[in-house]
Structure 1
Amino acid sequence: MIPKESLLPDDVVVIAGGGPIGLALARILSHRGVSSILFERNRTTTSWPKMDLTNARSMELFRTIGLAAELRKHGVDPDIDADVLMSTGMGKDYLLSKWELPGVHKFEQQIRECNDGTQPREAWQRISQAVFEKWLKAICDRDPRIDIRFGWTVESVSEEEQRVLTTVRDPDGTTHVFVSKYLAGCDGGSSIVRRSLAIPLEGGPIPVRATLVHFKSRDLQRLHKHGRFWHIFITNPAGGLGGAIIAQDEVDTWTTHLFLPADVEDETDNMSAEDVVARVLGGMNDPYPVKIDRVLVRSTWRPVIAVTKSWSGPHCRVLLAGDAAHQNIPTGGYGMNMGIADAFDLGWKLAAVVNKSGGTDLLRSYELERKPVAERNVARSGDHFKTHADLQTLLTRDGSDPNHVDEDTEKARETRVKVDEHYQEHDGENKDFGIEMGYRYKSHIIVPDKDSPPLAEPEWKPSAYTPTTWPGGRPPHLFLSHGGALFDELGKDWTLLTFDDNAPGEEHLVTAASKLSIPLKIVSLSHEALAKRLYERNLVLLRPDQHVAWRANSLGTEDEAQSVWNVVTGQTERAESNGVAH
C-alpha cells in the first residue's frame, strides 16, 4: 500500500528526534511563534545518563526563553559543590589530585563578585539527561505549538528544492509521508536523517570502549569515603585511566564507566553489574564493592570524535543538529551543550525564515557558524581525555611498575606530586570558558568592522573568555549600576545597545528595522561607564541568540542602515544590490 502524503502548513517545521536537542529546538521555535511536529522512535524519554552538566552558556541560552530557573528546580542541590577526584582506587586513604569546582550558589557568588565581563550570566547546573529530557518533554507536551509523537520512527528523509518528504512509521506499523518546507535532524549519532542524505562523518571511534553501569545505591559510607564528589577518575593496574564514577543526583543515583582497550576481548561479558562497579571503584587495587539497590542501565559504548562533512542538504531544507552533526568524548561535557547551542542558532534562523523576517541566507550561515565551533570543541574533548590518558606515562616513568605510586617511599611521593601537578596544570575540563563562551562566528551574516587600518582580532584562548564585542562573538555579561544584569535588558529578538546619546545612526537603524518589519529593542547605556568600556563601540547590534551582528561608533544614512539589516537578516542578494561589500 502506497502511503498517503500529508501536506503540512508552510509554518510547521518537522523535527526528527526527541532527545534534548530536538525538544529544545521545538521549544525555541515555539518561543518565536513557529509550530513543529516532532517524531521520536522511542516511546518514552531516555533512561540513559548521557550527560550530567548543563554548562553556563547553555543556562544563559535557556534564560532567554524563560527556562533556566525552572530547570534548576530539577537539578542537583545548589549548595553542593562539584569536586572532581583522581584516585588509584577507593580502597586507598588518599587521593592523587582534586579539582575543586563550585556548586551553583558558590558559582553565582563568584559571578557577582567578579563583575569584569569575564564571567557568565548563569552558573552551570548539574542535572542528569534522564531527568532533563523528562522535564523538557513535559513542557513541550503542554505547548500548543508543538505536536510530539513518541513511538513514531523516521525511516527516511528526501530533500527536494522546495520541500522535504519524511517517511514515518507510527506505533501501529502504518507508514506515513509528511511533506514540509523544512526538517531538522536531531536524531543522534546514528542519524537516519544524515544517512538519508548520504552525508559522511569525518572522524570516528577512538581505540577505547567502555562498559557503563547506571545504578541506585544509598551505600554512602563507602561511596563517600573521600567525601562528596561529582566525578572520580580511577586508574587501572597498568596505570592508565581505568574508569570513573559519576554522582548523578547527590542522593542515590550513580554511573560507572569501565574503560578497556577496543582491541582486546571484553572480559566483563560474564561479570555481574555489581562486579563491574566493584572493579571500577577498586582501580589498581582489589575490587571495592558497594551495595547496589537497583541496576537502571547497563551497556557498552565507544567514544567517537567526528563532525559531519555537511550540516544540511544542498537546498538547506534539511539541517542537522546535535549528535547527528558532531560527536565527541564526554570529557568536558561538550556534546549536549554544543547541541543546545546548535538548537538556539538554528531555531532563531528557521523562525526568521518561516516568519519572513529573514532570508534563506540565514540557513546557509548555520553550518558556517556552527561547524568550526564543533570541530574545535570535539578536538578539545580529546585533549581533556588525553589529560587522563597521560597518567600512565607519569606512573611508569623510568620503567617503573605503576603500582609503586601506592607505596610509602620517596619515589612514590615524588610521583604523586608530579601527578597532582599534572592535573592542576591541565584542569580545564569543566573550566574552559573560552571554549564554552568565547567562540566567535564568521559568516556572511556577520558585518565586519570597518576600521582603517583593520584592527587585530582579540586573542582567543580556550581557558578564559575575553570580554569583547568583536563581531560574531557573545558580548560580555556584567551587572549595571542599578544591580541588574545587562543581559536581562536585551530584547526577545534584535537589540540595539547605544552607549552615546549623541552618536548618529540609532534613528537610521530604527527606521530601517520598522520598514523591514524587524522587531528591535533599543537599550540606552550611555550612563554605564563599565559597560561602555567593555562594549567598545557606541552602537552594538545583537542577534536573537545574543551574538554581535554589527557594531560601529556611528552610521551615516538610512541606506547604510538598511544595508546592515540586509546582511544580518540573510538578505544577501538585496544587500549586494545596495552595494554592500562582503
Structure 2
Amino acid sequence: MNGFKVTGDEEVVLPEDTVLIAGAGPVGLLLATVLSHYGVKSVLLERNMTTTRWPKMDLTNARSMEQFRRLGLADSVPSNIAAPVLISSGLHQPKAITAWNHPSVDEYREKIKRHNDGTMPLEPWQRISQATFEAWIKERCDADPLIDPLFGWKVESIEETQDRVRTYATEVATGRKRVYISKYVIGCDGASSKVRRSLEIPIEGGPTPGYVLLVHFKSTDLARLHAQGQFWHIFFTAAENGLGGAIIAQNEVDTWTTHLAMPLDADHTTIDSAEAVARVLGGMGSPYPVHIDEILVRSTFRPYLAIARKYGSASGRIFLAGDACHQNIPTGGYGMNMGLGDAFDLGWKLAATINGFGGPGLLDSYEQERRPVAVKLVERSGVHMKVHTANAELLQPNPAAVDHDTEEGRALRQRIHDHYQANDGENRDIGAEMGYRYESVIINPEQQGKEPEWTPSRYIPTTWPGGRAPHVFLNDGSAIFDHYGSGYTLVEFSDGRADLGASFIVTEAQALKVPLKHLKLVNEDHARKIWERPLVLVRPDGHVSWRGENIDQATARRVVEVATGHRKAGGDVVQGSGGLPNGGFSATIGTTVQEKEFELARMGDFQR
C-alpha cells in the first residue's frame, strides 16, 4: 500500500500530503491526475471492480479538452467523422425532419485556425464515450506512482475529528473493514454520495417527470440504422411529451445506445430490450426492429435538476465534486464536463495548499467559484430539453400529419424545422461552456470599467478578471496557452522599451514561493489587442486573476496575495475556512430533496 502506515483494526494512516478520493469515476480519476501533475499523491476508493460499462457522457466539450491539453491528455479520437444530429419522426420515413450539422474534429480545427480572433477554443470538442474515457484514464492512473487506485472498496461513511477525517470503507469481495485517516477527503462518489450524506448536506432541486429506459447494444445492421443517413444523435418526436426517445452512435461502426422515455407509472420490466430499441427507432410510427448482436447494458435512470446546498464541510478538509454536488438532464452534455471542471479547479487549489504556497482562502474559493457555474449549466440543460418537449405543442392538433405528404404535413414539418434551427444551442452554446467568470481570488474587477456581457450562445474574448483568457495563435503560429507555466503565468506584452513593473510581481511571487512564469511577448500586436491589457496574471486553470497597464511593488504584493488566497481583494488577511455564501438555484422544480427519495428515484440498476 505504497508504504502507508497501517495500525490495528485495519486503520490506514495516510501522510498529510496524500489526498483520499472517494469514487474513481471520470471525476475522481481526473482529480487524481491533476494532483499528480502538481506532485501530490492520492488514494482512490471505488466500490466497483472496474470502470463503467455504461456509456453515459459521450461528449468532452472544448473547455474540458483545453484542460486535458494542459495535462498532456488531449489525445485525439477519430477526427474525420462528422456529428450530425437528426430530428426524426421515425426511421420508417425516408428522411429526417431536420438536422443540426455539427462539424467533424478536423473541420473544427480548421475553423479554429481561420478565426484567430479570440472567439474560438484552442481544442475542438471530442466524441468520447464515458466507458472509453474511464478505461483510458484509469490505465494512466494505474501506471502513475503518485496514484493508488483501489477498486472493489466501498466508502460507507466519513467522520471528521479535530484535525483529520476518518473514512470507513468495506472491501466488496470479502466484507473486510478498513478505516482511512487523512487530512483531506474528496467525495467524487456520484449522485447518491455517501460523503455528502455523511456531511448531511441537502440537495436543492428535484426530478424531471418520467424516466428513461437505456439500452446499450452492439449491431452491424447499418443499412437499417443509417436509413436516414449517418448520425451522432437522432431525437425522435412524440405527441405526448415531445420527445419519445433517442439513439446515440458511440463509434460509428457497431455500438449504439437508445433512450426510451417512459411515464413514471410504466413498468420497464415488461419491455424486452430489443423491443425497446425498436420502439425508439420507430418514433411516432410502428416499431422499427434492427438486428442486435449483443445487449451490453440495460438500465433505467430518472434525470434530475439538482445542486448541493454546500460543496464541502466547514472545516475545509472535505469537498464534493461532480455528480455528488450537481445533477442535470443530459441535454447539452454539461454533466460530466462540469465534473471535470470541478476536478481541475479543486485539484490545482488542493495542490497549491499542500505544496505550501496556497493561502487559506484558496480552498474556500472552490465552492464560491464552481457552484454558480453549476447553477447556470444545470438550468441550461433544462433549457435545451424544453426545445425537444416543445414538440408536444408543435405537433397539435394532428400529430399523425407529420408523416403525411400533404400540405398539412409539409407545414407541420416546416414548423418543427424552423423551431430546431432557431433553438440550436445544444452542444453549440460555447459561451455557457467557457464564458463564465469567477468572482473570488480575483483582483478588483469593478475598477476595470464596464464588464463585458455574458451570453450562453457565444464566447466573448476578454481578459476581464475571473474569466478564461482568450486563445490566440502568436506570430510564430504557436498557441499562447502552450506558453503558460505549470503554475501561474504573468503575460507581458512589450514593445521592448517601456518597463511596466512586471518584475515586482515576479519578486513577490518568489517571496511566497509561488510558481510563476513570466511570459514576455514582444511585438505581438494582434494578441495584445485581443488580451486588452499589457499585463495579465493567469492562474493555473487559465482564468485571469488580475490585469493592468502597469504595476508598482505595493500593488504587486496585494495582487499575488489575493490570487493565492492569502488576502481578500478588499485588503483583509484571510483567516481560514468557514461558512461560504451560496448562490440561489432557481430551477422550476427547486425544492429540497430528501436523500432516501432521491436515491430511489434515480433507479440506477444495471441489468444484463
Q: TM over 0.5, yes or no? A: yes
In the other structure, the counterpart of 2:125 is 124
Among candidates 427, 431, 434, match of residue 428 of structure 2 = 431
Q: Is the 8 A contact 1:17 1:186 kept in 2?
A: yes
In the other structure, the counterpart of 2:280 is 280
Among candidates 482, 488, 491, match of residue 494 of structure 1 = 488
In the other structure, the counterpart of 2:556 is 561
Matches within 5 A, 1:101-140: 101-140=102-141
Q: CA deviation at 1:578?
A: 7.6
In the other structure, the counterpart of 1:322 is 322
Q: Is the 8 A contact 1:438 1:466 kept in 2?
A: yes
Q: CA deviation at 1:142?
A: 0.1
In the other structure, the counterpart of 1:45 is 51
1:441 has 2:438 as partner: yes
Matches within 5 A, 1:105-254: 105-170=106-171, 171-236=173-238, 238=240, 240-254=242-256
Q: CA deviation at 1:573?
A: 7.2
Q: Is the 8 A contact 1:237 1:285 kept in 2?
A: no
Among candidates 470, 475, 478, match of residue 484 of structure 1 = 478
Q: CA deviation at 1:94?
A: 2.2
Q: Is 58-67 or 520-529 further displaced after alignment?
A: 520-529
Let me know the Cα RMSD of the aligned residues. 1.6
Alpha-carbon separation, structure 1, partners of 2:31 and 2:523 = 37
SS at match of 1:54: coil
SS at match of 1:3: helix
SS at match of 2:547: strand
Q: Is the 8 A contact 1:525 1:531 kept in 2?
A: no
Alpha-carbon separation, structure 2, partners of 1:554 and 1:196 = 49
In the other structure, the counterpart of 2:504 is 508
1:371 has 2:366 as partner: no
Q: Is 1-10 or 454-463 further displaced after alignment?
A: 1-10
What letter is aligned with 1:115?
A: N
Q: Is the 8 A contact 2:362 2:564 kept in 1?
A: yes
1:459 has 2:453 as partner: yes
SS at match of 2:461: coil
In the other structure, the counterpart of 1:570 is 565
Matches within 5 A, 1:257-272: 257-262=259-264, 264-266=265-267, 268-272=268-272
Q: CA deviation at 1:345?
A: 0.2
Alpha-carbon separation, structure 2, partners of 1:576 and 1:482 = 40
Alpha-carbon separation, structure 2, partners of 1:392 and 1:67 = 42
Equivalenced residue count is 565
SS at match of 2:522: coil
Q: Is the 8 A contact 1:239 1:402 kept in 2?
A: no
1:255 has 2:257 as partner: yes
In the other structure, the counterpart of 1:359 is 359
SS at match of 1:288: coil
Alpha-carbon separation, structure 2, partners of 1:85 and 1:188 = 31
Q: Is 321-330 or 411-420 further displaced after alignment?
A: 411-420
C-alpha offsets along residues 140-192 of structure 1, whole Å, 9 cap, x if unaligned?
A: 00000001100001110112342111111124211111111111110000100
C-alpha offsets along residues 508-550 of structure 1, whole Å, 9 cap, x if unaligned?
A: 0011111111111111223111111111111100000110011
Among candidates 503, 506, 518, match of residue 514 of structure 2 = 518
In the other structure, the counterpart of 2:37 is 31
1:61 has 2:67 as partner: yes
Alpha-carbon separation, structure 1, partners of 2:337 and 2:177 = 34
Compared with structure 1, are the counterparts of its residues 229 and 573 closer, same or farther at alpha carbon in structure 2 (3 Å cutoff)? closer
Among candidates 410, 415, 418, match of residue 418 of structure 1 = 415
In the other structure, the counterpart of 1:549 is 545
C-alpha offsets along residues 381-438 of structure 1, whole Å, 9 cap, x if unaligned?
A: 0000000000111111xxx121111112112111111110100011010000101110
In the other structure, the counterpart of 2:101 is 100
Matches within 5 A, 1:330-369: 330-369=330-369
Return structure 1 stretches of 4+ with deviation > 4 angstroms.
none
C-alpha offsets along residues 309-368 of structure 1, whole Å, 9 cap, x if unaligned?
A: 000111110000000010000000000000001000000000000111111211100000
The answer for unaligned runs of 5 or more in structure 2 is 1-6, 575-608
In the other structure, the counterpart of 1:307 is 307
Q: Is the 8 A contact 1:449 1:552 kept in 2?
A: no
Alpha-carbon separation, structure 2, partners of 1:292 and 1:17 = 33
C-alpha offsets along residues 486-526 of structure 1, whole Å, 9 cap, x if unaligned?
A: 11111111100001342422010011111111111111223
Alpha-carbon separation, structure 1, partners of 2:262 and 2:399 = 17
Alpha-carbon separation, structure 2, partners of 1:116 and 1:416 = 38
SS at match of 1:202: strand
Percentage of identical aligned residues: 54
Alpha-carbon separation, structure 2, partners of 1:573 and 1:428 = 37
Q: Is the 8 A contact 1:16 1:183 kept in 2?
A: yes
The answer for unaligned runs of 5 or more in structure 1 is none
Alpha-carbon separation, structure 2, partners of 1:322 and 1:159 = 21
- TM-score of the superposition, structure 2-length normalised? 0.91
Alpha-carbon separation, structure 2, partners of 1:163 and 1:572 = 25
C-alpha offsets along residues 434-465 of structure 1, whole Å, 9 cap, x if unaligned?
A: 0111010011x1112363xx511101100000
Alpha-carbon separation, structure 2, partners of 1:212 and 1:239 = 18
Alpha-carbon separation, structure 2, partners of 1:291 and 1:339 = 36
What letter is aligned with 1:227?
A: G
Q: CA deviation at 1:102?
A: 0.8
What letter is aligned with 1:256?
A: T
What letter is aligned with 1:165?
A: R
- TM-score of the superposition, structure 1-length normalised? 0.95
Q: Is the 8 A contact 2:54 2:297 kept in 1?
A: yes
In the other structure, the counterpart of 1:18 is 24
Q: Is the 8 A contact 1:506 1:539 kept in 2?
A: yes
Q: Is the 8 A contact 2:52 2:134 kept in 1?
A: yes
1:540 has 2:536 as partner: yes
